[in-house]
Structure 1
Amino acid sequence: MLQRLALFLIAALLSWPAQAVSVAFINPGRSSEAFWLAASNAMAQASQSLGIRLEVLYAEREHLRGLELVKALVARPPAERPDYLLFSNDYGTAPEMLRLVDGSGIRVLLVFSSIHGADQRQVGRPREKYPFWLGSLEPDAEEAGYLTAKSLIEKGRQARLQGADGLLHLLALAGDRSTPSSAARNSGLQRALAEAPDVVLDQLVYANWNLDKAAEKTRWLIRRHPEARLLWSGSDQIAFGAMKAWRERGGTPGRDGLFSGVNTSTQAMEAIQRGELSALAGGHFLAGAWGLVMVHDHARGRDFSEEGLDLVRPMFTLFNPERARYFVQRFGGAQLPLDFRQYSKALNPRVQRYQFDVAVLLR
């Protein structure tokens, strides 16, 4: 009798669902911003399929607001704090965020952008000074800058847009000066330029990821450098701002001036199908969703440390009109009807290495 009762209790305990892991994400973007909305939507899809309770908090591109959001999470009663916290190092805020989380019992994974350079020397590597800082997952942002610049240059050669000196002239509108992913995209641009002796970088400026700021800066750039016909941009919104200024001057994007961008917004996909964007790379909006896969596995005893603590993965692919049409048809811009369980090591013992690549989804 007692044995049967014990067996019944064990079976009942095994049948009860485990308490869902709770995760908060400090979204550094605006709640109306296409890229960061797509990132949150992808994370919502991943959390739903993985059984994670997800809370998304927007910093609205105000770095002080991001710090206040972390303070508020830590100030909650222990039972109401999330098990894991995901945030990025936009505007170099991650070191201070780690300091704020210290002692709270919350475990941290950096996604989208991590800590580098002097800041890394200050805080150390994951699991050193801050043991609760589990690691980071970054898209290979240099790849995005390189792929778009290389494609833009090749399109410029094909269109024969050289200046009077026989060289292609390029203007670059970068994101910001402090975010690591912005610097990495710029490095990718420089790598492509080093491979192209027939291209001159006339000037690089920072548009702070803002369409209106990009338009304002492009207006005086094209007056200062009238032979420039290639305009490389650190994001799609920056590219749209540059296009706006180009049209105001009477130009036609895709014909007398070629533009590149980064991101998978519906607007960008439509622009490349119309030929207004000549080069577009995207896929990194999934970094937060992939981070949730890692958190899910960590909570179930499958530590991603076997692949490293600072993971930098290729997440970008170049889009042509055909691939853009397929992407929009399948994903509707940001809606991803995907079962993220198939990417989990904890749920699929055959998965030995995470495959965090948008090309996998496009297949």
Structure 2
Amino acid sequence: MYCWHRIVGTFCLWFMLLPGDGFAMSVTFLNPGKSNELYWVTASNCMNAAAHSLGVQLEILYSERDHLKTIEIAKALAARPRIERPDYVILSNDYAVGMQAIRILDAAQIKSFFAFSGITDQNQRVLVKGPRQIYKRWLGSLEPKSEDAGYLTAHELIQRGEAMHLYAADGKLHMLVIAGDRSTTTSSKRNEGMRHAVAEAKNVVIDQEVFGEWNRDKAKLQSDWLYKRYPGKHLVWAGNDLMAFGAMDSWRSLGGHPGKDTLFSGINTSTDALSAYENGSLTALAGGHFVAGAFALVMLYDYHHGKDFIDEGLELDRSMFILFDKEDARRFQHLFGDLNFNGIDFKRFSKVLQPSLTKYEFSFRQILSENERQK
């Protein structure tokens, strides 16, 4: 009797894990961030909420910002027994590891999809072409339009600087730039958006640009000598919230008052960033792009259930960021201050579950507004 139950149990487990059956599709997310890094934890929490809403089995593995670990995890997934491999892997092309990872996954017959950051480097393009070409199981990508974040925050910063007449002796507004890093697409695109706003304004001088590596302490050290090299009132544009905080820490140590004698901008939706925006020490704040992974799950859910996204394009670059105002900040804190996104019904974004949908709507503004009405 024991043997019979064991055989039946093994068969049932094997049957449930078969890809493509009526059982839940399985997805693994290779999170490029650290397991205690607020932004990437927020992205994971939102993906968990989407998976719960859609009935998807989701596994999240962190690379801890170690690009070699991403490759190691991809190899480990490929080495699993066939019935234990996920149907799909969502990954980000941070530090340009995507090409090697999809090659490993494709050989193991695991479908892959880029979220947050795709393959844009032209040298890599020559080798991988586009989705479903050389690597047939690389299905596509979904990126938040990072230029929006850079443009929105810089534009708001400049407008506020003009309103407060923070002009130097040359009649110009002077800006210090603390960018993320030199290698990721996200960083370079945010910078492009910022530079677009600067060029548009025509009265702004960028004194210097440094790379803070997304780190508060490093941004503080860099700001210490930037303020000495370029004394006076400034606009300080930062590629994320942590670097903005580092620059603000440095300014306060000199007796300055962020939001009054020098203006700062940031990107992300941490509680500290929202609080700093509400109290005025942070002048401009954009965020909401953490939903990219959750929306990638929606697209794969539809693909898995017979509704391919090819009609909208295989590599989507969609506006997700919003520029926060005080009401948005209050609303976000009220709805998602504990980083619990289970109240979002992601089924309403699915074309399979909502046949009337003709185009994916992936704006964070939509989530913020609709969930407020439901409250």
- Calculate the TM-score normalised by the size of structure 1: 0.94
Residue in 1 aligned with 2:221? 216
Matched, 1:103 2:107: yes
> Counterparts of 2:246 and 2:33 in 1: how far apart (Å)?
18
Matched, 1:257 2:262: yes
Residue in 1 aligned with 2:81? 77
Secondary structure, counterpart of 2:178 in structure 1: strand
Residue of 326, 346, 351 corresponding to 2:357: 351
Matched, 1:129 2:134: yes
Of residues 96-105 and 165-174 in structure 1, the stretch that sits farther from structure 2 once superposed is: 96-105
Q: Tell me the alpha carbon deviations over residues 161-209 of structure 1, each in whole angstroms, 9 at most, x when there is no partner.
A: 1111111100011111111111100000110011111110011111111
Secondary structure, counterpart of 1:172 in structure 2: strand
Residue of 9, 19, 26 corresponding to 1:22: 26
Query: Unaligned 5+ residue runs, structure 1?
Result: 1-16
Residue in 2 aligned with 1:176? 181
Of residues 58-67 and 106-115 in structure 1, the stretch that sits farther from structure 2 once superposed is: 58-67
After the TM superposition, which segments of 4 or more aligned residues of structure 1 sit over 3 Å from their partners?
none
Residue of 70, 90, 96 corresponding to 2:94: 90
How far residue 51 of structure 1 moved from its aligned partner, in angstroms, is 0.5
User: Residue 264 of structure 2 contacts residue 284 of structure 2 at CA under 8 Å; is this kept in 1?
Assistant: yes
- Calculate the TM-score normalised by the size of structure 2: 0.91
Written as runs of structure 1 = structure 2, the 5 A alignment for 1:1-363 is: 18-117=22-121, 118-332=123-337, 334-336=339-341, 337-363=343-369
Name the amino acid aligned to 1:86.
I
> Counterparts of 1:68 and 1:267 in 2: how far apart (Å)?
34
Aligned residues: 347
How far residue 333 of structure 1 moved from its aligned partner, in angstroms, is 5.1
User: Residue 265 of structure 1 contacts residue 333 of structure 1 at CA under 8 Å; is this kept in 2?
Assistant: no
Residue in 2 aligned with 1:4? none
How far residue 228 of structure 1 moved from its aligned partner, in angstroms, is 4.9
Name the amino acid aligned to 2:280.
G
Secondary structure, counterpart of 1:281 in structure 2: strand
User: Residue 180 of structure 2 contacts residue 187 of structure 2 at CA under 8 Å; is this kept in 1?
Assistant: yes
- The 1:333–1:243 alpha-carbon spacing in structure 2 relative to 1, beyond 3 Å, is farther
> Counterparts of 1:268 and 1:306 in 2: how far apart (Å)?
38
Secondary structure, counterpart of 1:205 in structure 2: strand
User: Residue 327 of structure 1 contacts residue 333 of structure 1 at CA under 8 Å; is this kept in 2?
Assistant: no
> Counterparts of 2:97 and 2:76 in 1: how far apart (Å)?
16
How far residue 267 of structure 1 moved from its aligned partner, in angstroms, is 1.2
> Counterparts of 1:122 and 1:215 in 2: how far apart (Å)?
40
Give me the CA root mean square deviation: 1.1
User: Residue 29 of structure 1 contacts residue 36 of structure 1 at CA under 8 Å; is this kept in 2?
Assistant: yes
Name the amino acid aligned to 1:70.
A
- The 1:238–1:333 alpha-carbon spacing in structure 2 relative to 1, beyond 3 Å, is farther
Identity of aligned residues (%): 50
> Counterparts of 2:34 and 2:252 in 1: how far apart (Å)?
27
Secondary structure, counterpart of 1:134 in structure 2: strand
> Counterparts of 1:245 and 1:200 in 2: how far apart (Å)?
21
Q: Tell me the alpha carbon deviations over residues 32-88 of structure 1, each in whole angstroms, 9 at most, x when there is no partner.
A: 111111100000000001000000011111111111111111111111110000000
- The 1:201–1:333 alpha-carbon spacing in structure 2 relative to 1, beyond 3 Å, is farther
> Counterparts of 1:318 and 1:23 in 2: how far apart (Å)?
31
